[in-house]
A and B are shown apart, each in its own frame.
Chain A
Amino acid sequence: DTGVSQDPRHKITKRGQNVTFRCDPISEHNRLYWYRQTLGQGPEFLTYFQNEAQLEKSRLLSDRFSAERPKGSFSTLEIQRTEQGDSAMYLCASSPRGGSGETQYFGPGTRLLVL
């Protein structure tokens, strides 16, 4: 069990550029979540995959954001035309199955700074 990994760990970009983040979940986990955490706040839910299907998206996820999980393995989160308000830590988590008691395991996050 190597844990959830995310790449890159840090990203600095200029406003208007596109960025893409990758998340590799724990291998046997079929559920994958993306969260966003801004300074001094708790993580906020963005979207969720079960296998390759994106089953829920938060209203926080504007049209500039898109997430994919081809083949139900790794996932990517792309932000188009970045804005300074997109600066945050983007967290990925995975869990083995559904249910309220299932633990979500978090990756180290990708910290995005939009200049």
Chain B
Amino acid sequence: GNSVTQMEGPVTLSEEAFLTINCTYTATGYPSLFWYVQYPGEGLQLLLKATKADDKGSNKGFEATYRKETTSFHLEKGSVQVSDSAVYFCALSDLRGTASKLTFGTGTRLQVTL
């Protein structure tokens, strides 16, 4: 079946450091890929997405490129801020059946300090 594997957290960085959170996936067909973010006490918010190979999703300084050859969708940001502290989830959509249900990774907690 489909699955998503993320690097374990927490990831602790100083403000303005470079961020990479690794995500790899296993899927049949050609899924769409997503990064969701969950800030403390809040619901899941879509951060970015990519729907086909070599697409790059970007939002709020975050980027991720859909790499079919390595089945990866790593999240990057050039300079993190304290306000980026949250849990980040990589996910893929599954078109089997009739629902485009999401399969999530276990999440990676990011802590950014001054």
Using a CB–CB distance below 8 Å, which chain A residues touch chain B?
A: 4, 31, 33, 35, 40-45, 48, 50, 55-56, 91, 93, 95, 98-109
Contacts and interface: CB of A to CB of B under 8 A. Distances in A.
Given A56-B98, A98-B100, A100-B93, A106 B107 contact: no
Contacts of B99: 31, 33, 45, 48, 55-56, 98
Max chain B CB contacts within 10 Å: which of A33, A42, A91? Answer: A42
B51 A100 contact: yes
Given A42-B89, A100-B31, A100-B100, A105 B106 contact: no
Contacts, number: 73
A25 B34 CA distance: 20
B43 A100 contact: no
Interface string B52-65: 00000000000000
A105 B107 CA distance: 18
Interface string B90-108: 0101010111111111110
Contacts of B98: 48, 50, 55-56, 98
Nearest to B44: A106
A29 to B, nearest CB: 13
A15 B46 CA distance: 34
Given A91-B43, A101-B32, A42 B95 contact: no
B42 interface: yes
Contacts of A106: 36, 43-45
B43 A44 contact: no
Contacts of A101: 32, 49, 51, 93
